[in-house]
Amino acid sequence: MGGEDEAVQPLFATKPLKGRVAYRCFASTIFVGICLILVYRLKHIPSAEEHGRWAWIGLFMAELWFGFYWIITQSARWNVIHRVPFKDRLLQRYGEKLPGVDIFVCTADPTLEPPTLVVNTVLSAMAYNYPTDKLSVYLSDDGGSELTFYALLEASRFSKHWIPFCKKFKVEPRSPQGYFVQHNDSQDITYAHEWLAIKKLYEEMKNRIESAVEVGSIPKEVRDQHKGFSEWDSKITKKDHQSIVQNLIDGRDTNAIDSDGNRLPTLVYIAREKRPQVHHNFKAGSMNALTRVSSEMSNGPIILNLDCDMYSNDPDAIMDALCFFLDEEKGHRVSYVQYPQHYNNVHKSNIYSCSNMVVNKIELAGLDGYGGALYCGTGCFHRRESLCGRRYSEDFKAEWSTRTWKNAERTVQELEEASKVLANCSYEKGTLWGKEMGLMYGCSVEDVITGLVIQCKGWEPVYYNPDKRAFLGVAATTLDDALIQYKRWAEGMFQIFFSKYCPFFYGHRKIKLGAQMGYCIYLLWAPNSLPMLYYTIVPPLFLLRGIALFPEVSSLWFLPFAYVFTAKYAYSMLEAVWCGDSFKAWWNLERTWLIRSATSYLFALIDNITKQLGLSETTFAITAKVADKGVLKRYQQEIIEFGNASLMVTIISTLALLNLFSLVGGMTRVIFRMEFRGGVAGLIPHIILCGLTVMLNLPVYHALFIRSDKGRIPSSVMFKSIVLSSLACLLPYLL
């Protein structure tokens, strides 16, 4: 125990990122450039008789927005920090006094989220290097599926072999699926022997689960093995069923031991009550039910929240996270410790830009620098108290060691019955759950808004980005999935901005200005769509018409445009490469940003408006975690999957064609020296802009005209977008 006379060494350190001063100087030059651009726009507005007056004013507004948004993004780069925990000191000081940790895993649909995937996450969580009597894993199944329950039952049996195997050979990762795909070339005989045996067990379990899933029901002899299946005796549906709470492993039970005779962690299955007439609030509702049910059982003061597709990749991650909570001097202020979201199915070139290295390494760490670490929904350790709505106060000191199972003497049956009440629809009526307590309701990014509210109650969250990836999830493998996911995020974020939780008002005097701005980088994704669309539609059309909307290249006013554009993109490329992206990944990100703006962000904007008008409601489109073989193959080859004839794809291809037509038309004009207003030199910026857009869209043309696989853009979409873009090209002649 930390000696009384010597000063206690901290359990974690916070360090600034190097190179700040240089960055701040550089950013200031861009700022000057932006101001000059705006001055130019204001001083040169075409007169009422001239062509392009309104287009000009539109460009001014778009550039005003980009400038404003750029300033907002500086908050995430101004004050970047990183955190360093000291696990060894923790181990020395807290041997026996470690707090209980409850791990929540959420799943919602046995088809989109296969039970095998779910139990892999659960098993990886059960196998953490942490005293098993202090570890409890709770699975919330919003799908209310007996298939998932069955899979969990199988996992509880398999864990008796898996956990000792992991600990004996220190295997990593601890998701069996993730582990067995690795190559095993060990020479150790006992290891090879046991490896084979455990692999066989795993494959058998997997086959049993998958054949049950295929048939869609559980064989009678299996149903008879566990009383829990009786919950499904009366035909129940996903949207209409009673509360189900089944304790599959009771961690207090001295007979619940693994094959080496060590105690097992607690394992509980929960499907909260669902009734068609009661709104279930998606994942937030499920997390809150988990919080209450777990408080009736293990009641761990630390909660780790995982999505069902995100397994633990580092068996020591709990120890790292605890360093932040248990630090004697600063730990009592920490509300949650968020890890970045990484994916195990993302390639180096990252075609849909799902994993964002710059966001993970710079932006989120930059927000943390202002005390504004985001809560991202998964891979996050919470303090139960702050999650349950407690306000921070100076005299708050956690008592870790005194807390254990709240109802230690009660039997499993008694606990299950008591817990079911907590998972009932009626339980929350008239309480503060979803408003002041637990995760917030009514927003499709329940995580971000909950994090903001917790911060505004005085807590200081931590963002921790270790070199070794602590959690690995599954990223979207089709363009549609990726865009719909971003639409959900952009919509929820923008909704926060226009609610009473807008960081600038709600956070005023509660969180730092840097954090308020930092939140807005994401909250303002949706409105970016309009200026982005404007910039990719109007300048190309005016190029076609031969009307310059930018200064001539020989003019001094061209300099700020050239400087801001080049410096911004050169910097963003260097930044991406520095953060570990490839050049191609950065290039793909630029395309993705364009595509997202034209689709996800635009739709998010529109949906927000219709919601304000009361025409639509919050929804939650679950991202698929599996794809069929053809799709997967193309994903492996890094070919974009357009596939269906959706409105989003139509917009993308129309925009791409419009730029192509304009570029060709504009170049023809230049080559044949047709008349211009403002001279050829004035059109060069248009050509550059349009040319870059065309280059970004190369895969779109490829999918339109060359590809023949199923992921190409369907011909119906092709015809539609040819007609639409041609019509658009005629537009400037009518103005």
Binding-site residue positions for Mn(2+): 283, 307
- Mark the binding-site residues for UDP-alpha-D-glucose, compressed into ranges: 113, 142
Considering only the C-alpha atoms of the chain, give the largest distance between any 2 of them, rounded to a whole number of Å: 91
Of 314, 447, 480, 581, the catalytic one is 447
Which positions from 45 through 84 interact with ligand UPG, judged by CB under 6 A? none
Which residue in 444, 592, 608, 693 binds ligand UPG (CB under 6 A)? Answer: 444
Which residue in 335, 356, 465, 485 binds ligand UPG (CB under 6 A)? Answer: 485
Please check whether residue 572 is in contact with residue 583, taking contact to mean a CB–CB distance below 8 angstroms.
Answer: no
725 counts as binding ligand UPG under rule CB under 6 A: no
Nearest alpha carbon to residue 151 among 117, 109, 119: 119
Classify residue 193 as exposed, middle or buried by CB count within 10 Å of its CB (0-12, 13-18, 19+). Answer: exposed
**Closer to Mn ion at the Cβ: 484 or 544?**
484
108 counts as binding ligand UPG under rule CB under 6 A: yes
Q: Closest separation between CB of residue 115 and Mn ion, Å?
A: 16
623 counts as binding ligand UPG under rule CB under 6 A: yes
Which residue in 620, 638, 680, 691 binds ligand UPG (CB under 6 A)? Answer: 620
**Closer to ligand UPG at the Cβ: 113 or 273?**
113
Start-to-end C-alpha separation, the chain: 79
Stretch in the footprint of Mn ion (CB under 5 A) among 411-419, 445-453, 578-586, 619-627: 619-627
Stretch in the footprint of Mn ion (CB under 5 A) among 288-296, 302-310, 410-418, 705-713: 302-310
Q: Closest separation between CB of residue 660 and ligand UPG, Å?
A: 33
Distance CA(266)–CA(100), nearest Å, equals 11
Stretch in the footprint of Mn ion (CB under 5 A) among 131-139, 253-261, 602-610, 622-630: 622-630
548 counts as binding ligand UPG under rule CB under 6 A: no
117 to 156: interface string for ligand UPG, x by CB under 6 A: -------------------------x--------------
Which positions from 513 through 532 interact with ligand UPG, judged by CB under 6 A? none
- Mark the binding-site residues, compressed into ranges: 113, 142, 283, 307
Which positions from 424 through 443 interact with ligand UPG, judged by CB under 6 A? none
Please check whether residue 446 is in contact with residue 489, taking contact to mean a CB–CB distance below 8 angstroms.
Answer: no
Distance CA(716)–CA(144), nearest Å, equals 39
Q: Closest separation between CB of residue 374 and Mn ion, Å?
A: 16
Strand, helix or coil at 332?
helix
Q: Closest separation between CB of residue 294 and ligand UPG, Å?
A: 15
**Closer to ligand UPG at the Cβ: 159 or 286?**
286
Q: Closest separation between CB of residue 709 and Mn ion, Å?
A: 26
Chain-centroid distance of CA 476 in Å reads: 11
Distance CA(104)–CA(173), nearest Å, equals 19
**Closer to Mn ion at the Cβ: 482 or 687?**
482
Distance CA(600)–CA(348), nearest Å, equals 24
Vertex 380 angle, CA 477 and 469, to 5°? 60
**Is 250 a catalytic site residue?**
no
Please check whether residue 441 is in contact with residue 434, taking contact to mean a CB–CB distance below 8 angstroms.
Answer: yes
286 counts as binding ligand UPG under rule CB under 6 A: yes
**Closer to ligand UPG at the Cβ: 164 or 438?**
438
447 counts as binding ligand UPG under rule CB under 6 A: yes
Q: Closest separation between CB of residue 312 and Mn ion, Å?
A: 15
557 counts as binding ligand UPG under rule CB under 6 A: no
Q: Closest separation between CB of residue 380 and ligand UPG, Å?
A: 8
Of 102, 141, 142, 258, the catalytic one is 142
Centre a 10 Å sphere on the Cβ of residue 132 and count the other Cβ atoms it contains.
Answer: 21
Q: Residue 484: CB partners within 8 Å, gap ≥ 6?
A: 600, 621, 623
**Is 447 a catalytic site residue?**
yes
Distance CA(559)–CA(175), nearest Å, equals 55
Distance CA(660)–CA(512), nearest Å, equals 45
Distance CA(647)–CA(717), nearest Å, equals 9
377 counts as binding ligand UPG under rule CB under 6 A: yes
Q: Residue 63: CB partners within 8 Å, gap ≥ 6?
A: 34, 37, 38, 41, 531
Distance CA(108)–CA(145), nearest Å, equals 9
Classify residue 670 as exposed, middle or buried by CB count within 10 Å of its CB (0-12, 13-18, 19+). Answer: middle
**Closer to ligand UPG at the Cβ: 113 or 258?**
113
Q: Which residues of 401-426 are buried (b: 16+ CB within 10 A; e: fewer)?
A: eeeebeeeebebeebbeebbebbbbe
Please check whether residue 601 is in contact with residue 526, taking contact to mean a CB–CB distance below 8 angstroms.
Answer: yes
Which positions from 308 through 367 interact with ligand UPG, judged by CB under 6 A? 308
**Closer to ligand UPG at the Cβ: 168 or 239?**
239
**Closer to ligand UPG at the Cβ: 453 or 729?**
453
Q: Tell me how many residues contact ligand UPG (CB under 6 A).
A: 21
Distance CA(552)–CA(560), nearest Å, equals 12
Distance CA(179)–CA(359), nearest Å, equals 28
Which residue in 34, 62, 106, 171 binds ligand UPG (CB under 6 A)? Answer: 106
Q: Closest separation between CB of residue 488 and Mn ion, Å?
A: 11
Nearest alpha carbon to residue 293 among 331, 266, 324, 260: 266
Residues catalogued as catalytic: 142, 447
- Residues of this chain that interact with Mn ion (CB under 5 A) are 307, 623
Binding site for ligand UPG (CB under 6 A): 106-108, 113, 142, 282-283, 286, 307-308, 377-378, 444-445, 447, 485, 488-489, 620, 622-623
